[in-house]
Structure 1
Amino acid sequence: MWKMLIRVALASILSLSITLPAFAQGTVARAQFTTDVIDREPIDNVGATVTVEYGAIQRVYFFTDLRDMAGSHVIHRWKLDGEEQAGVDFDIGGDRWRVWSSKRLMPGFDGKWSVEVVQDDVVVSTYSFDYIDEF
């Protein structure tokens, strides 16, 4: 009887280890572009388009609330029209971790901006906005 219970228990444990991936990918619970982050929270949502007066400089922040990524390495990869402009690295220390990065958008940087959230070299999600320099 005990041998049978031990076999069933071992078989259950082995089947769980086979069906689970090597690491469980977390989620991006919230993400948004904002003009600032105060007390680990974005103060507003800039939306899908950022418009500035010609020649002005605009700082845009990208805020993410990450879940179940403890122990992972995450990157905010900033791109302009598909070409990488910057990467900001984070080591995630808990099951809920809020991180943000920012980019100073200079005159002439208009176009489609995107930020990829990369967890352990895998793109988890991508967010974007249009940057328009008004004349």
Structure 2
Amino acid sequence: MWQTLTRVALAGFLSFATILPAFAEGTVARAQFTTDVIDREPIDNIGSMVKVEYGEIQRVYFFTDLRDMSGSQVVHRWKLDGEEQANVDFDIGGDRWRVWSSKRLMPGFDGKWSVDVVQDGNVVATYSFDYVDEG
């Protein structure tokens, strides 16, 4: 009886231990919102607030420098006030992989924007900015 119980407990622990590294692997080395990406690098950091410009459409880019995620699928999940707006998928082909996605922001899209970095179905990081109407 004890041998069977010990085997079941050990098998459960080993299966958990083999799953655990998949969650622990990979990091977001850098992430930022920017007005453009040139030569695989963001040109600026727009910070945590973007002002609504009436009559203008603003494109905001989200740049990530991913490490040790080779072979994974990563998604940039764009949300406005917690509601999903868009998903952009990337297949990661190396130990260091820089990817970016963008969203066109128009007047009326004001609120808290966030982007979840999702690796193989698990949210590994979230970044946000406020799109503010000061008028």
What TM-score do you get using the length of structure 1 for normalisation?
Answer: 0.83
Report matched runs for 1:44-59 at 5 Å: 44-59=44-59
Assess, with a 3 A threshold, how the Cα gap between structure 1 residues 19 and 32 changes in structure 2: closer, same or farther. Answer: same
Aligned to 1:90: 90
Aligned to 2:74: 74
In the alignment, the residues of structure 2 paired with residue 127 and residue 91 of structure 1 have an alpha-carbon distance, to the nearest angstrom, of 20
* Offset, 1:122: 0.1
Superposed CA offset, 1:91-130 (max 9, x none): 0000000000000001100000000000000000000000
Secondary structure of 2:97's counterpart equals: strand
What TM-score do you get using the length of structure 2 for normalisation?
Answer: 0.83
Aligned to 2:129: 129
Aligned to 1:109: 109
Assess, with a 3 A threshold, how the Cα gap between structure 1 residues 18 and 44 changes in structure 2: closer, same or farther. Answer: same
In the alignment, the residues of structure 2 paired with residue 109 and residue 28 of structure 1 have an alpha-carbon distance, to the nearest angstrom, of 27
Specify the structure having the higher radius of gyration (Cα): 1
* Partners of 2:112 and 2:128 within 8 A in 1: yes
User: How many residues align structurally?
Assistant: 120
Aligned to 1:29: 29
In the alignment, structure 1 segments of 5+ residues that lack a partner are 1-15
* Partners of 1:57 and 1:105 within 8 A in 2: yes
Moved over 3 A (4+): 16-22
Secondary structure of 1:70's counterpart equals: coil
Aligned to 1:60: 60
Superposed CA offset, 1:51-103 (max 9, x none): 13223211000000000000000000000000000000000000000000000
Aligned-residue Cα RMSD (Å) equals 1.8
* Partners of 1:80 and 1:111 within 8 A in 2: yes
In the alignment, the residues of structure 2 paired with residue 117 and residue 18 of structure 1 have an alpha-carbon distance, to the nearest angstrom, of 24
Aligned to 1:120: 120
In the alignment, the residues of structure 2 paired with residue 17 and residue 69 of structure 1 have an alpha-carbon distance, to the nearest angstrom, of 21
